[in-house]
Amino acid sequence: MPEPSTETWREAHRMIAAYGDDAAVMAAMAADEALDVGNVDDFHAWQRVVKAIESLVAPNDNPSQTAAARIPNRTRQEPNFRDARER
């Protein structure tokens, strides 16, 4: 994959400003949507945006960690009201 261009970096910064910690996930979703409609060029462009976002927000101690590894488990857990009443 080629290095991100100036336009890619701008989009990465825009996504971070708009979505914060979810920026890479949102860009990856845009890439998936592009692929779903058969737009391979946009898919690759969004992949470069994801790479740029990850390089901007990745912790310095582990730059190889990807956005997918940082996606929280979004399964719904029922609140434990018993613990709340005992406090």
Contact, 16 vs 26, CB < 8 A?
no
Report the distance separating Cα 48 and Cα 27, nearest Å: 9
pLDDT, residue 24, reads: 95
pLDDT, residue 39, reads: 93
DSSP summary character for residue 73: P
Domain layout of the chain by residue ranges: 6-68
pLDDT, tens digit (0-9, with 9 covering 90-100), for 22-70 = 999 999 999 999 999 999 999 999 999 999 999 998 765 554 555 545 4
